[in-house]
Chain A
């Protein structure tokens, strides 16, 4: 069988070990300055609480989960992680511009599924990740990476459950990616 091994349009990425060292130093700096690590899912939670609090303030205050994040003097958007996440969008855009990866809207998908299917799975996957991150007290950034870096037991548990599950179930969903 004649197999074509070309890697199409391989974009210029920085060396992954360099990326890792920079990311590790950034976590160190963040802990040194703020006493906490990085995060991501928290900003989406703030967005959910803000929408809910705008549409139905009394129901939001009656909800035992969302009420923790509502205060009378400030919008729930006024949190560290919301500002950090705005930064992530800006930083991602800057890198994309610098390395020539900012193009018109497009969808990455495996060779055996259509873009449309990929987008449906992306919503489902995102919803599961969002739901799981609330039980996990954080996602890959906040719990698995920053948590483990500060030697927190919870961080290690979340890291192994995410990646362990990924490896166990990858085979069954291989049509999505390979």
Chain B
């Protein structure tokens, strides 16, 4: 029964080999889908390319529904998987800062690595920026240490917060995703018709 490494079914010594292999698959899928181009990524905010929404939402609902099935079939012990801890204020502020980073920089961290891998200089500069931003955060940490650890709600899931079963959330996300796929297809067609040029 999974998760395999926390349950000792695969020895901890394989950890980094598995990390490397999973990373290779991750990088391959991102690049093959077109996430190595900042113009493709920024398109989601300007309506000329909804690639990000398609890949992101499809991945999200496949993983969500998959986790539900793995739990139902008894393959995965959900009490042993990592639940990201929630820090309300810091996460909203962090998300807003990352939103600015996305529009100005055109990448997010994982996608910039794949852009870098195929020779995009803007991806290289974005990655240098990442390093500088985290360095500044670390050095200035005493200034906002209190804020950083504020608003802690623990490792809380949507189900624990609302009492609504996880399968309902999986269903809701699926319905919203399907509606978004259809709606954005229409928007994309219209926006592209009015674009002078779109070079990848």
- B is a partner of A: yes
Nearest 9 interchain pairs by C-beta? A125-B105, A87-B23, A126-B129, A161-B95, A20-B58, A165-B99, A24-B62, A91-B27, A130-B133
Which residues of chain A come closer than 8 Å to B64, judged between CB atoms?
148-149, 151
- Is residue B182 contacting chain A, with contact meaning CB distance below 8 A? no
Given contacts A3-B196, A88-B30, contact A35 B6 (CB under 8 A): yes
Q: Are B157 and A105 in contact (CB under 8 A)?
A: no
As a 0/1 sequence over residues 15 to 30 of chain A, the CB contacts with chain B under 8 angstroms (1 = contact) are 0110111111111111
Report Cα–Cα, A86/B20, bound state, in Å.
7
As a 0/1 sequence over residues 95 to 114 of chain B, the CB contacts with chain A under 8 angstroms (1 = contact) are 11111111111111111111
Report Cα–Cα, A4/B159, bound state, in Å.
50
Report Cα–Cα, A34/B63, bound state, in Å.
15
Report Cα–Cα, A39/B37, bound state, in Å.
19
Report Cα–Cα, A111/B2, bound state, in Å.
49
- Of the candidates A10, A38, A151, the one having the most CB atoms from chain B within 10 angstroms of its own CB is A151
Instruction: Give residues in B with beta carbon < 8 Å to A.
Output: 2-6, 10, 15-16, 18-34, 36-39, 42-46, 48, 51, 54-64, 66-67, 70, 75-76, 80-88, 90-139, 141-142, 145, 148, 153, 155-159, 161, 166, 169, 173, 181, 192-200
Which residues of chain A come closer than 8 Å to B46, judged between CB atoms?
170, 174, 177-178
Which residues of chain B come closer than 8 Å to A159, judged between CB atoms?
95
Q: Are A123 and B28 in contact (CB under 8 A)?
A: no
Given contacts A84-B20, A126-B129, A151-B158, contact A33 B5 (CB under 8 A): yes
Whole-angstrom distance from the CB of B8 to the nearest CB of chain A?
A: 11
Q: List 6 A-B contacts (CB under 8 A).
A: A25-B66, A38-B22, A139-B108, A148-B173, A155-B84, A170-B103
Report Cα–Cα, A82/B82, bound state, in Å.
18
Whole-angstrom distance from the CB of A65 to the nearest CB of chain B?
A: 4
Which residues of chain A come closer than 8 Å to B103, judged between CB atoms?
125, 165-166, 169-170, 173, 176
Which residues of chain A come closer than 8 Å to B5, judged between CB atoms?
33-35
Q: Which residue of B lies closest to A158 (CB)?
A: B95
Report Cα–Cα, A99/B26, bound state, in Å.
16
Whole-angstrom distance from the CB of B134 to the nearest CB of chain A?
A: 4
Q: Are B121 and A119 in contact (CB under 8 A)?
A: yes
Report Cα–Cα, A31/B76, bound state, in Å.
9
As a 0/1 sequence over residues 148 to 160 of chain A, the CB contacts with chain B under 8 angstroms (1 = contact) are 1111111111111
Whole-angstrom distance from the CB of B101 to the nearest CB of chain A?
A: 3
Which residues of chain A come closer than 8 Å to B36, judged between CB atoms?
92, 96, 101
Of B44, B90, B157, which one neighbours A153 at CB under 8 angstroms? B157
Q: Are A108 and B117 in contact (CB under 8 A)?
A: no
Of A32, A63, A104, A166, which one neighbours B139 at CB under 8 angstroms? A63
Q: Are A29 and B22 in contact (CB under 8 A)?
A: yes
Q: Are B84 and A133 in contact (CB under 8 A)?
A: no
Q: Are A139 and B98 in contact (CB under 8 A)?
A: yes
Q: Are B95 and A165 in contact (CB under 8 A)?
A: yes
Report Cα–Cα, A134/B100, bound state, in Å.
15
Of B61, B82, B126, which one neighbours A24 at CB under 8 angstroms? B61
Whole-angstrom distance from the CB of A19 to the nearest CB of chain B?
A: 3
Of B22, B85, B126, which one neighbours A87 at CB under 8 angstroms? B22
Of B6, B83, B94, B104, which one neighbours A125 at CB under 8 angstroms? B104
Q: Are B113 and A88 in contact (CB under 8 A)?
A: yes
